[in-house]
Structure 1
Amino acid sequence: MRKKLYMLRHGQTRFNERHRIQGWCDAPLTEQGKRQAKIAKRYFAKNGIAFDRVVCSTSERCSDTLELVTDLPYTRHHALKEMDFGEFEGQPECLMPPVELFPAYFARYGGETLEQVEARVVAKIKEVMEEEHTSVLCVTHGGVMRIFYAWLMGAKMRDEQDCDNCAVFEYDYDTDTKAFSFVQAVNHDFSGLEEEA
């Protein structure tokens, strides 16, 4: 049996707008972030995509985005949170090291290793996909989406992997082989956001 997994990044937050590092710390959605979520909602509707299971990170920026996309009940999971950047949390993004240093860098400053994030994210998503449903929406974070993609594709996580606010990464899941396959990444056209105000 084949199931669908749609991973959706949260909308723009105040910290995104101000170029602040945002892992376990949280910031509210901006008005633009709310409009981005509504565009993502229209994408799902336009393509006839419906969900019978909805999950998200425990960060409010994710649940707030989710509630703008669907009115379905959902479950929040700590395992779907962004990477913990330790002492870098809330600091200017210019202090962020190159992505090649991510694997163990933040653990030295009270945060997580890339391996720890990958382990909790992959385990939780596998668990969710084994439940009784056929189409899952998972609202989470850019880092989480890149880490899951890199794990599946056997690639290193890269900064240039496009994962804009409210991007959608679509996967198939085969319950017989327990295998995921990447279908597509969708970064929406937000050029008309001003008209959404």
Structure 2
Amino acid sequence: MTLQPIQHERRRIYLMRHGSVTYFDALGKPYLPESVPLNEQGRVQATAAGQSFAKENIRFDRVIISGLPRTVETAQRVLAETGQQIDCETWPELAELRGGRLSSIPDGELKQAFTGAFEGMVSEDKQFLGGESIGQLIDRIHPAIDRLRADISWDTVLLVLHGGVNRAILSYALTGQRLFFGNLAQTAGCINVLDVGAEQHDWVTRVINLSPPLPLQSDWRGTTMEALYEQYKKSR
């Protein structure tokens, strides 16, 4: 007897954050965030994520990235492990929160500028590093996700994006509203698993912030932005 393929009622979104990158040099001077590649740890994380997908024989119909080099390289390393040859689609509207000029932020406001956008439920007027606000982020993320869901040509999609962007997507999935939960941790190279149905409200959140190299994340209790603040303040 030939078994018929399972017909899934919902479609699957695998939402990744890119692997680790080096944003500041040893003296705290920033590199251009639009051009930084993965560092060695980031390459390990991306490969480990790909191995996790390969182990479960997960196949992607589409792969979507923001176009920034760190998402490109992460996606390439994942696909190298799964053995799929897929042309990644670049969606620039899914790029990370855009910061302002770090040098223009007063010393007394520096820590809050780094960490404030990722603390609890964040108001829409909160700016990231003196630049783009959470409301502006939502304005470009929600329509992009709605457009992806409206396209019924795919069953399984991989999104390789960024920490702030992923929080916006996860907050949308959890509430269906213009809310932003900044404390939804997104470890570099992590995987989130979301299912979507035909109805706008039909989201099922299955996995959040799975980090394949170290699933229980026993080595760190801080946040990415706390670590970046400590690195940057050396230059002040």
Give TM-score scaled by structure 2 length: 0.69
What displacement does 1:122 show? 1.8
Once residues 36 and 17 of structure 1 are traced to their aligned partners in structure 2, the CA distance between those partners, rounded to angstroms, is: 21
**In the superposition, relative to structure 1, how do residues 46 and 21 fare at CA in structure 2: closer, same or farther (>3 Å)?**
farther
- Residue number among 40, 43, 54 corresponding to 2:52 in the alignment: 43
CA RMSD, 1 decimal: 3.0
SS in structure 2 of the partner of residue 14 of structure 1: coil
Contact 1:23 1:84 in 2 (8 A): no
Is residue 2:104 matched to residue 1:96? no
What's the counterpart of residue 124 of structure 1? Answer: 144
Identity %: 23
What displacement does 1:67 show? 0.7
CA deviation vs aligned residue, 1:80-138 (integer Å, no higher than 9, x gap): 1011112239x9x84514235663243894x2221121121121122123220100000
In structure 1, runs of 5+ residues without a counterpart are 192-197
Of Structure 1 and Structure 2, the greater strand share is in: 1
**In the superposition, relative to structure 1, how do residues 129 and 24 fare at CA in structure 2: closer, same or farther (>3 Å)?**
farther
What's the counterpart of residue 195 of structure 1? Answer: none
**In the superposition, relative to structure 1, how do residues 174 and 189 fare at CA in structure 2: closer, same or farther (>3 Å)?**
closer
What's the counterpart of residue 33 of structure 1? Answer: 42
- Give matches, 1:4-153, under 5 Å: 4-15=12-23, 25-70=34-79, 71-88=85-102, 94=111, 95-99=113-117, 103-106=124-127, 109=130, 111-131=131-151, 132-153=153-174
In structure 2, runs of 5+ residues without a counterpart are 1-8, 80-84, 215-236
Is residue 2:188 matched to residue 1:165? yes
| One-letter identity of the residue aligned with 1:187 | L
Contact 2:197 2:203 in 1 (8 A): yes
What's the counterpart of residue 211 of structure 2? Answer: 188
> Over alpha carbons, which structure has the higher Rg?
2
**In the superposition, relative to structure 1, how do residues 115 and 12 fare at CA in structure 2: closer, same or farther (>3 Å)?**
same
Contact 2:134 2:180 in 1 (8 A): no
CA deviation vs aligned residue, 1:137-195 (integer Å, no higher than 9, x gap): 00000111111112232364233x221111111111112x133221112422535xxxx
What's the counterpart of residue 230 of structure 2? Answer: none
SS in structure 2 of the partner of residue 4 of structure 1: strand
SS in structure 2 of the partner of residue 106 of structure 1: coil
**In the superposition, relative to structure 1, how do residues 120 and 167 fare at CA in structure 2: closer, same or farther (>3 Å)?**
same
What's the counterpart of residue 194 of structure 1? Answer: none
